Amino acid sequence: MQQVEIREGTIRLGQLLKLAGLAEHGAEAKSLLDEGEVQVNDTVETRRGRQIAAGDSVVVGDEVIRVVSD
């Protein structure tokens, strides 16, 4: 499990995927989402702009990201 720290209240899902190193750019994040490869809190998510907050978990394949605040 990888923890990603955010400074503000929320972060967009596409930005989080890039920050965590799971997507190199926005188009790659969009592709992952379009293919149904991303789950937020155990639910498949397709919106790149979905707001993610501390306490949320994001799963892409075998990678699990836990969002924490500073």
Instruction: For residue range 4-38, list pLDDT tens digits in order.
Output: 999 879 999 999 999 999 999 989 999 999 999 99
Q: For tokens 């789950």, what's the residue?
A: 39
pLDDT on residue 44: 98
Give the global pTM. Answer: 0.91
| CATH number assigned to the domain covering 2-69 | 3.10.290.10
* Region for residue 20 given its phi and psi (left: phi exceeds 0; alpha: psi -120 to 50; beta: otherwise): alpha
Please tell me the distance from the alpha carbon of residue 26 to that of residue 8, in angstroms, as a whole number: 20
Whether the CB-CB separation of 33 and 45 falls below 8 Å is answered with yes
Beta strand 38-40 with 2-6 is: unpaired
The DSSP element (H or E) to which 28 belongs, if any, is helix 26-34
pLDDT on residue 11: 95
The domain segmentation of the chain, as residue ranges, is: 2-69
Flag whether pLDDT at 70 surpasses 90: no
Mean pLDDT of 31-58: 96
